[in-house]
């Protein structure tokens, strides 16, 4: 009599990968508990067996999964007993050494979770693509091995950082999917979804720069801080650095170089933001942006080269003036974006495409991001690429002129003259660059 075929085909390569993953996870598990006085259940032998048991129970009844569910219930009941006994044992130890209620009891929740996850690797390896099982095992190992680093991170992060992250998730995960993708007014054909997508793009770039400023820049000096500040907000960074230059007694040239560096990086920020929404416009901007950014980097290097005696001086990062992901900031940005989108459409109809340049100058003295994004999204509709590219450079030049004025105002004539001169030169260099972009080729 021919034996019945198995209810689920067991592929040898999947079982081999499963056993390897269980062994890998078991090694990380034992390393986690190597300094523990109590050896918890699980490890290099148990985890491969648990994974194999889960796979076999699933293979015997893949349609209903009753055998797998039964095995999971039995394993969970046994781990519950272990968890309870360990908690009682630690409580008794606390009573013996006199710490009583002052001692934090660690019932070892990692042990039950690790065993259950090892058991579930079996059905996952059979029912899902192998990369899913591999990814889960690798994530479990990384999280297990990073215990000390994750605890240190939780200690380092304050409540403000969690609030910022929650705001970021609200902006991306809740507001964006709910925004309608249809125009709601005849004044502009940009939809609420496109408006909030622009908010998400700028907020994400600012948030990443903010995190790097917060956790990387304090260890790498003021120049790295300035570069990250240019990605976050070159205007705010210029103001902070200019105030520092006014009070600097050492490494003044380094602070001056940092002011210009923030503006040089701003050009890269413009190119990235535009490229997200209009790669064609970004390609149109690339020559002018490359030249202006190179000029800014050269001016920054010249200022740094003139530094005497304080080349090794390191300073803390310039603190960001505001949280980049406050909801009020996002709402203000969205309002500015809508207003400038309507203004671009009205100016184009009333004064022709040339009127957009005047609007760019005004935007440069306020916030260029909404203006840049309104052009990046509007070029696909009714605005010539040459006009849009030239108007963006005009707005950036006006913004550089404003930052030069800020530098003189906050740093003073002595400390602010050289970086202000460099920023004025970048503003003037934007004029031929805009003319080059505006000329049809």
Query: Cα 212 to chain center, whole Å?
Result: 9
In sequence order, what DSSP letters do the residues of 314-379 get, joined into one string? --PPPPPSS-TT-HHHHHHHHHHHHHHHHHHHHHHHHH-TTHHHHHHHHHHTS-HHHHHHHHHHHT
Cα–Cα distance for residue pair 79/285, rounded to 1 Å: 62
Q: Are residues 99 and 225 in the same domain?
A: no
Q: Please count the structural domains in the chain.
A: 2
Do 189 and 144 belong together in one domain? no
Q: Which residues pair with 185 in a beta bridge?
A: 188
Identify the pLDDT of residue 178. 79
Task: Pick the last residue of a domain from 154, 189, 204.
Answer: 154
Higher pLDDT: 432 or 232? It is 432
Residue 72's alpha-carbon distances to 66, 134, 264, in angstroms, are 10, 21, 59
122 shares a domain with 237: no
- CA separation for the pair 185, 183 (Å, rounded): 6
> Is residue 272 within 8 Å of residue 230, measured between CB atoms?
no
pLDDT value, residue 188: 64
Torsion of CA 193, 194, 198, 199, to 10 degrees: -30
Give me the pLDDT at residue 311, please. Answer: 43
Residue 91 contacts residue 105 (beta carbons within 8 Å): yes
| Mean pLDDT, range 367-383, rounded to an integer | 73
Residue 329 belongs to a domain: yes
Do 344 and 279 sit in the same domain of this protein? yes
Dump pLDDT digits (tens) for 146-156: 766 776 666 66
Under DSSP, is residue 188 helix (H, G, I), strand (E, B) or coil? Answer: strand
Q: What is the DSSP letter of 182?
A: S
Q: Is 12 exposed, middle or buried (0-12, 13-18, 19+ CB in 10 A)?
A: exposed
Domain around 50:
12-154
What is residue 310's predicted lDDT score, i.e. its pLDDT? 44
Q: Are residues 147 and 178 in the same domain?
A: no
- Is residue 1 included in any domain, yes or no? no
Average pLDDT over residues 324-333: 64
* pLDDT-based confidence at residue 397 (cuts at 50, 70, 90): very high
Angle between helix 192-215 and 327-351 (nearest 10): 130
pLDDT of residue 209: 72
Q: Does the structure show a pLDDT above 70 at 325?
A: no
Crossing angle between the packed helical segments 130-145 and 110-127, to the nearest 10 degrees: 160
Tokens 């300035």 sit on residue: 226
pLDDT more than 70, % of the chain: 76
User: What integer best gives the mean pLDDT of the chain?
Assistant: 79
The answer to whether residue 163 scores a pLDDT higher than 70 is yes
For residues 169 and 150, state if they share a domain.
Answer: no
For the cut 90, the answer to whether the pLDDT of residue 177 exceeds it is no
State residue 119's pLDDT score.
Answer: 94
89 lies in a domain? yes
- Asked if 141 and 25 sit in the same domain, the reply is yes
- Same domain for 165 and 145: no
More confident residue, 323 or 183: 183
Nearest to 41 by CA among 84, 79, 92: 79
Q: Model confidence over 10-65: pLDDT tens digits?
A: 788 888 999 999 999 988 888 877 766 667 788 888 999 999 999 999 988 888 88
Query: Bridge partners of 188?
Result: 185
pLDDT at 19: 92
φ and ψ at 10, to 5 degrees?
A: -95, 110
The answer to whether residue 358 sits within a structural domain is yes
Chosen domain end from 125, 154, 183: 154
Please give the model's pTM, rounded to 2 decimal places.
0.63
Percent of the chain residues past pLDDT 90, beyond the cut: 26
- 246 exposed, middle or buried (CB, 10 Å; 0-12, 13-18, 19+)? middle
CB 359 within 8 A of CB 391: yes
- Taking residues 352-368, report their average pLDDT: 81
pLDDT greater at residue 76 or residue 215:
76
Yes or no: say if 321 and 239 are a contact pair by the CB < 8 Å rule: yes
- Residues 146 and 240 both lie in one domain: no
Q: What is the DSSP string of 192-219?
A: HHHHHHHHHHHHHHHHHHHHHHHHTGGG
Residue 21's pLDDT is: 92
The residue ranking higher by pLDDT, 199 or 297, is 297
Question: What pLDDT score does 241 carry?
Answer: 86
- Calpha distance 134→252 (Å, rounded): 52
| Whole-Å CA distances, 48 to 23, 57, 137, 377 | 5, 14, 12, 54
Query: Confidence band (pLDDT; 50, 70, 90) for 185?
Result: low
Indicate whether 43 and 116 sit together in one domain: yes
Chosen domain end from 119, 136, 154: 154
3-state class (DSSP) for residue 250: coil
Q: Are residues 216 and 137 both part of a single domain?
A: no
Q: Is 428 left (phi over 0), alpha (psi -120 to 50) or beta?
A: alpha
In a shared domain, residues 59 and 76: yes
**Among 125-134, 334-343, 400-409, where is mean pLDDT lowest?**
334-343
Range among 24-28, 144-148, 202-206, 395-399 rated most confident: 395-399
Report if residue 4 sits inside a domain.
no
Q: For position 236, what pLDDT does the model report? A: 81
Q: What is the pLDDT of residue 5?
A: 43
Q: What is the pLDDT of residue 353?
A: 66
Comparing CA positions, the residue from 125, 83, 90 lying closest to residue 108 is: 83
């Amino acid at each position: 009599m021919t034996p019945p075929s198995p209810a689920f085909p067991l592929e040898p390569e999947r079982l081999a990968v499963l056993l390897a993953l269980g062994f890998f996870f078991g090694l990380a598990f034992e390393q986690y508990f190597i300094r523990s006085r109590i050896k918890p259940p699980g490890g290099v032998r148990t985890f491969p067996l648990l994974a194999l048991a889960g796979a076999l129970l699933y293979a015997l009844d893949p349609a209903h999964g009753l055998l797998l569910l039964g095995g999971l219930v039995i394993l969970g009941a046994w781990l519950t007993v272990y968890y309870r006994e360990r908690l009682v044992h630690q409580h008794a130890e606390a009573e013996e050494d006199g710490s009583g209620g002052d001692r934090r009891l660690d019932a070892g929740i990692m042990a039950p979770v690790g065993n259950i996850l090892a058991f579930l690797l079996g059905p996952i390896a059979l029912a899902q693509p192998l990369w899913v099982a591999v990814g889960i095992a690798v994530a479990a190992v990384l999280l297990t091995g990073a215990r000390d680093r994750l605890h240190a991170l939780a200690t380092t992060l304050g409540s403000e950082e969690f609030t910022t992250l929650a705001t970021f998730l609200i902006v991306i995960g809740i507001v964006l999917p709910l925004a309608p993708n249809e125009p709601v007014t005849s004044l502009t054909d940009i939809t609420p979804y496109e408006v909030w997508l622009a908010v998400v793009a700028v907020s994400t770039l600012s948030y990443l720069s903010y995190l790097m400023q917060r956790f990387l820049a304090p260890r790498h000096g003021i120049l790295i801080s300035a570069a990250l500040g240019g990605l976050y907000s070159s205007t705010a960074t210029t103001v902070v650095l200019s105030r520092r230059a006014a009070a600097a007694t050492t490494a003044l040239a380094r602070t001056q170089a940092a002011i210009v560096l923030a503006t040089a990086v701003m050009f890269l920020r413009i190119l990235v933001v535009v490229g997200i929404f209009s790669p064609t416009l970004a390609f149109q901007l690339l020559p002018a942006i490359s030249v202006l950014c190179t000029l800014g980097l050269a001016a920054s290097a010249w200022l740094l080269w003139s530094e005497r005696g304080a080349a090794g001086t390191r300073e803390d990062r310039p603190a960001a003036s505001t949280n980049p992901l406050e909801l009020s900031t996002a709402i203000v940005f969205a309002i500015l974006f809508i207003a400038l989108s309507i203004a671009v459409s009205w100016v184009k109809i009333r004064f022709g495409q040339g009127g957009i340049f005047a609007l760019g100058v005004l935007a440069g003295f306020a916030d260029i991001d909404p203006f840049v994004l309104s052009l990046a999204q509007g070029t696909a509709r009714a605005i010539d690429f040459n006009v849009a590219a030239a108007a963006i450079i005009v707005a950036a030049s006006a913004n550089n002129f404003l930052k030069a004025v800020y530098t003189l105002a906050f740093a003073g004539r002595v400390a602010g003259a050289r970086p202000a001169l460099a920023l004025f030169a970048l503003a003037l260099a934007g004029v031929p660059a805009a003319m080059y972009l505006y000329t049809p080729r």
